[in-house]
Amino acid sequence: MAIKTRVLPETLTSNGNAFDLSNETFGELRDANGLLGNMPAIHERLAEDGYLLFRNYLDKEKVLAARRELIEKLDSIGLIDRSKPLLDAIFSGDTSGIVGSDRKAFARELRSGPALKEICFSGRIMSFFEEFFGDEILHLNYIWVRNRRRGAATPCHYDWVYMGRGTRNVVTAWIPQGAVPLVDGPLAILHGSHEWEELQQTYGSIDVDTDKEKNPYGGGSLTKDPNQPQQRYGGRWLTTEFEPGDVLMFGMFTLHCSLDNESPENRIRLSTDTRYQLASEPADERWIGDDPFGHGMM
């Protein structure tokens, strides 16, 4: 399916690398809304595609409340252009507030607002995963908040590399905290990558915190160039434009990256990613508790 966007830029890039936008190698994420109410079909779709996209699934007003909460926090250290509407999240160009702040404390503050916790850890998302897993669930306590400014992008990676010390049966929910048009750098999924055994057993088996020396990839990502795994293994990069209320879910071994944020207005792309699993299965202790330790823990 070709991308049905209002304005399709001539090029789409991730970390400066242009995607091959031909139909065989690039397309649009398909939604799974038609499968709601049919959990076996939802499982089948996840096994087939490696992702699930639900449009307009979460309470839009609650998402916008979480968006406001995030932007107010960014504004408190001067990152938001106050001459523009607050909810537009336009970058002020002034990073002096970050330099003077305790970054760790600020990151903790950013991910711990009540509106954000409500959208990520209560209501529809939790009832979805309870039904999906068919028993009591837990969520990793950490909320990964992404505030990607113009020029920034997330490199290609499997989530397992960052949170692979518990069960493999974990699902990520990527929640756009506001609208994310293509120019603002949404997430992209490499369709088919959840079935690439060789990649899972090589790059995919690394632990980003303990395998620094034997890790030929630098940090935890596979590459900044989305063409590289595609040329080697195939698959189609899929993305779309997101609206508040949409949620994209995928497993630990679905390769993903983000497009570059090229917002002409300098809008900050805001999203979160959170993880859900069965409560009875082991959970990666780095991301559990009131104030998860994160990557500082070996």
Ligand X SMILES: O=C(O)CCC(=O)C(=O)O
Quote the least distance from Cβ 155 to ligand X, whole Å.
9
Amino acid at 154: T
Is 240 one of the binding residues for ligand X (CB under 6 A)? no
Q: Quick one: DSSP state of residue 15?
A: T
How far apart CA 142 and CA 170 sit, in angstroms, is 14
Residues 241-260 that bind ligand X (CB under 6 A): 256, 258
**Cβ-contact 176, 244 below 8 angstroms:** yes
The length of the chain in residues reads: 298
Using alpha carbons, select from 33, 24, 23 the residue that is nearest to residue 2: 23
**Cβ-contact 182, 9 below 8 angstroms:** yes
Quote the least distance from Cβ 187 to ligand X, whole Å.
5
How far apart CA 36 and CA 38 sit, in angstroms, is 5
Task: Compute how many residues bind ligand X; rule: CB under 6 A.
Answer: 11
- 34 vs 219 by CB, closer to ligand X: 219
Residue in 133, 174, 242, 287 binding ligand X, rule: CB under 6 A: 174
- 85 vs 151 by CB, closer to ligand X: 151
Residues 187-226 that bind ligand X (CB under 6 A): 187
Residue in 69, 159, 260, 284 binding ligand X, rule: CB under 6 A: 159
**Cβ-contact 73, 113 below 8 angstroms:** yes
- 24 vs 171 by CB, closer to ligand X: 171
Residue 185 vs residues 119, 134, 217: alpha-carbon distances, Å = 22, 34, 23
- 258 vs 263 by CB, closer to ligand X: 258
Is 154 one of the binding residues for ligand X (CB under 6 A)? yes
Q: Which residues of the shown chain bind ligand X in the complex (CB under 6 A)?
A: 146, 148, 154, 159, 172, 174, 187, 256, 258, 271, 273
